[in-house]
Structure 1
Amino acid sequence: MLDLLANFSVYALSAFGVFVIAMLLITLATKHKEFELIGKGNQAAALSFGGKLFGVALVLGSAIAHSVSLVDMVIWGFIGLVAQLLFFYLSELITIRFSISEAIEKDNKAVGILLLLLSLSIGWIIASCLTY
C-alpha cells in the first residue's frame, strides 16, 4: 500500500510541476496579462486562460494514463504542452478578423468562450494522440 501511495505522490507532484510550468509559459506566451485582467474581473480573460489550463490538464492526464514510467510521463507532458502552445499560436489564424489580446482586454466574452472551447478541443485532440 505504501508503494502505491509513494508512486501516486511522485506522479502527482511531477504532473503538478509540469502544470505550473505550463501555466507560467502560457502567461509568457500571451500579449495580455491574464492574472491582472482576471483580478479586475475580466471574464473573457478567465475563460480563455481557464480553457488553456484545462487543455493542458487533459494532455497531462493522458500522459499519466499512458506513460510507461515517470520520465516518459514528464516527456510526453512537455511534448503536449509545446503542441498546445503551437496550436495556440495557430489559433491566431482562425481569429484573424480580430486581435485576440485586444478582444480579451476589452472583456469580449464571445472571444473568451471561443478560446475556451478551442483550447479544450486542442487539448482533447493532443491528449488522444498521446494514446498511440
Structure 2
Amino acid sequence: MGAFWENVFVETVARYSVVILCSFVFLAIFELVTSYKNWEQIKKGNFAVAMATGGKLFGIATIFRYSIEHNDTLLQSIGWGAFGFLLLLIGYFVFEFMTPSIKIDEEIGKGNIAVGFISMTISIGLSFVIGASIIIG
C-alpha cells in the first residue's frame, strides 16, 4: 500500500485536491471578512471585486506552489499553506489600516476598479514574499 501513496500521480492528485479544498475554505474566510458578497458581486459584473478575488486566489495558489515545492509531505504543505494564508489575510487588514483615507473594502464593493487593481496587486506581491519565506519543513 505504501507504493500506492508514493506514486507520483497519486501524490499529484492528492496535493491538487487539497489545494482546491483549501482554496475554497480560504476564499470563504475572505468572504466572511469583507462587507460584500464576492460571488454575488462578480455575477453582477463588479470588476473591482473580480480583480480583488482573483488576486486572493492567485495569492493562495502561489503560496501553495512554494509550500509544495519546499516540503516533502502533504501535511507540511498544508501547514505552510495555511500559515501563508494567515499572513495574506493579515496583509489584507494591514492594507485597510494603512489607508485610512480610503475604505478599501467599501470601495471595492462599490466597484472602484483602481482600488480593486491595487488590492489584487498587493495580494499577488505578498504571496511571492510569503512563498519565498517558506522553509523546508
Normalised to the residue count of structure 2, the TM-score between the two structures is 0.89
The structure 1 segments of at least 4 consecutive aligned residues displaced by more than 6 Å after TM superposition are: none
TM-superposed deviation, 1:101: 2.2
Matched residues in 1 for 2:11 and 2:42: separation? 35
| Count of aligned pairs | 132
- 1:34 correspondence with 2:68: no
Q: Deviations over 1:38-66 (max 9, x none)?
A: 11111011011111111111101110111
Gaps of 5+ in 2: none
- 1:16 correspondence with 2:12: no
- Give the AA of the match of 2:126: I
Q: Deviations over 1:62-85 (max 9, x none)?
A: 101111211101111111111111
Sequence identity percentage = 27
Q: Deviations over 1:94-123 (max 9, x none)?
A: 322111122112211110111010111111
Normalised to the residue count of structure 1, the TM-score between the two structures is 0.93
- 1:46 correspondence with 2:45: no
- 1:67 correspondence with 2:74: no
Gaps of 5+ in 1: none
- 1:130 correspondence with 2:130: no
Find 2:122's aligned residue among 118, 126, 132.
118
- 1:7 correspondence with 2:11: yes
- Give the AA of the match of 2:87: A
Matched residues in 1 for 2:18 and 2:98: separation? 33
Matched residues in 2 for 1:32 and 1:94: separation? 20
1:78 counterpart SS class: helix
